Structure 1
């Protein structure tokens, strides 16, 4: 191991204090894998301010206006003056694109051009050129799945690592069951943890809830997003009593929901570069069924738990999972492939390579 004790700058999107989900949790796990002299975290904000975050982070919010590229480079210039050995690890492609300095590591959860193309938006050429430029200007690229790499414009370069995600809930996974009692009173509900947006396939879940009314199944959806109110209104209009959309839930309640559910379901239509709820379900030794698309087949324990995005196929997957759950060691699968210990070693190797 190198004798250098570097500092690191992470580029993210959301404020550490107010939004700690997804990428923020991945960054937290990565930052724990190495003995960094200092940790900086830069993200979008309503103003350009500094504050202290978890694990003694120095957090810097960047006001998103016409002058943010100037502010960003000024901030990095000051940091580089203080830190002899500095790694820039980006989870934010836009920040890296406007940085005059070379990004040491770029983490790719979903490739830019692939996402834009999947949404059928205009301006694809801009995203195509931006993604190409990013790979050219990065020292090393970290993909969270082989699918994420294959859908990218990375090409045949060799400066990459594929390191799957792990869960920051691992140390807490044996704690608590009763915190969710005010949400659901029984242990046979199906849990869905998703960002409520187009690619999450929430419309499929609503159709499944309609289909499943005679079976007495209860669906609990945890997560927020731009379409939350839209889907809540859909559920109200249809008079469905067996599906609840909770919106954002804190870590304590989410842990309890994982602990008490019968199984976890992950629906997706596009843009699922990994599928964190899959491994979180396994962490709690729960069966997980999921859409047969994107990176999900790469992460799931067996193809038997995959379904096509049709109500009948989803219903069959639920029946299979509930019937066969005792035949699988879901927690053991998590520990063998996605444990904190395994991923920490992989991240440590990634940072050592970035320092060479």
Structure 2
């Protein structure tokens, strides 16, 4: 039997929020303690030769043939690899309830999902949440009064080992920047009125551009006559991402649903004006170093953007960014998880 097994299966989607969470959790926990990891075989190259790895297989989704451990950390609420057993201490990390919020009109789906989570809670010894917002949302749907629970923030996910590099596409001039998995909940089209109203600006959208929503973004830009100033550039390397943060005029995250909002911290690292929605976790994570839109009305967005940029003071903003970033550390997060493993 192994002491600690951590489910990092989502590393297979490395550039997603869960992929980055898994990557940085592994980097910091492996530097402090010995653990074993459940992973998809495609992620094996991300680990050390000294690590003990278990590869996922379809039967494990039925609860069969999971490796045995004294402590099992299920690193997201929707993991298919969960030990429905009381033979070990089980820690479950909750990132969001987006599954419910995106299916509010599909009662049967929501009820089925809630039963799925409730079953997991019966075998959970400790719950962790990545934000206060996520915890409050979770408590609206589930009774966790008898389960030990903690809020453990994520840290800064930037990999600064690569030199900043301009992405390989043609554009010049000032640009706004956003990065995410391109899904409807990201609400990226809300930024389009600003591009319409400011003909000197371009919008760079990084992230998987093979989704249905990415196609919608392309079509909507054509309809608005701004397709020559809206660029969906697909996934980017760490060096390209750093370049985009470093050189953008401002960063935008207008999501309707977020459990945390990692890019907000990344943009703050580069001391950029950060414009966010006032939804879910974003105000909590952005703190005083983010400007929240109270509505997506085009005039109010334009007025807030214009007034902010006209009065923007780089040195004052940098101090706010540093103060906010000090609240988030992967090293501290890893230490808190390790305490729970004991």
TM-score range, shorter chain: 0.7 to 0.9
Summarize the Cα distance change of 1:8–1:321 in structure 2 as closer, same or farther, 3 Å threshold.
farther
Match of 2:148 among 138, 145, 159: 159
Contact 1:112 1:131 in 2 (8 A): no
**For this pair of structures, how many residues does the alignment match?**
325
Summarize the Cα distance change of 1:154–1:314 in structure 2 as closer, same or farther, 3 Å threshold.
farther
Match of 2:252 among 261, 265, 279: 265
TM-score of the two chains, using structure 1 as the length reference? 0.80
Match of 1:217 among 198, 201, 206: 201
Summarize the Cα distance change of 1:191–1:182 in structure 2 as closer, same or farther, 3 Å threshold.
same
* Residue of structure 2 equivalent to 1:46: none
Which shifted more, 250-259 or 27-36?
27-36
Cα distance, 1:154 vs structure 2: 4.6
Cα distance, 1:103 vs structure 2: 6.5
Summarize the Cα distance change of 1:290–1:20 in structure 2 as closer, same or farther, 3 Å threshold.
closer
Which shifted more, 228-237 or 194-203?
228-237
2:74 equivalent to 1:89? yes
Counterparts in 2 of 1:197-346, with a 5 A limit? Answer: 197-213=183-199, 216-224=200-208, 225-240=211-226, 241-269=228-256, 271-302=257-288, 305-307=291-293, 308-322=295-309, 323-326=311-314, 327-328=316-317, 329-338=319-328, 340=329, 343-346=330-333
* Residue of structure 2 equivalent to 1:15: 12
Instruction: State the Cα RMSD in Å.
Output: 2.9
Q: SS at the partner of 1:191?
A: strand
Q: SS at the partner of 1:93?
A: coil
Contact 1:189 1:217 in 2 (8 A): yes
Contact 2:276 2:291 in 1 (8 A): yes
Which shifted more, 177-186 or 246-255?
177-186
Cα distance, 1:251 vs structure 2: 1.8
Cα distance, 1:14 vs structure 2: 5.2
Structure 1: give runs of 5+ residues left out of the alignment.
Answer: 44-48
* Residue of structure 2 equivalent to 1:24: 19
Distance 1:283 1:69 in 2: 39
Q: SS at the partner of 2:28?
A: coil
Q: SS at the partner of 1:52?
A: helix
Summarize the Cα distance change of 1:161–1:274 in structure 2 as closer, same or farther, 3 Å threshold.
same
Contact 2:4 2:72 in 1 (8 A): yes
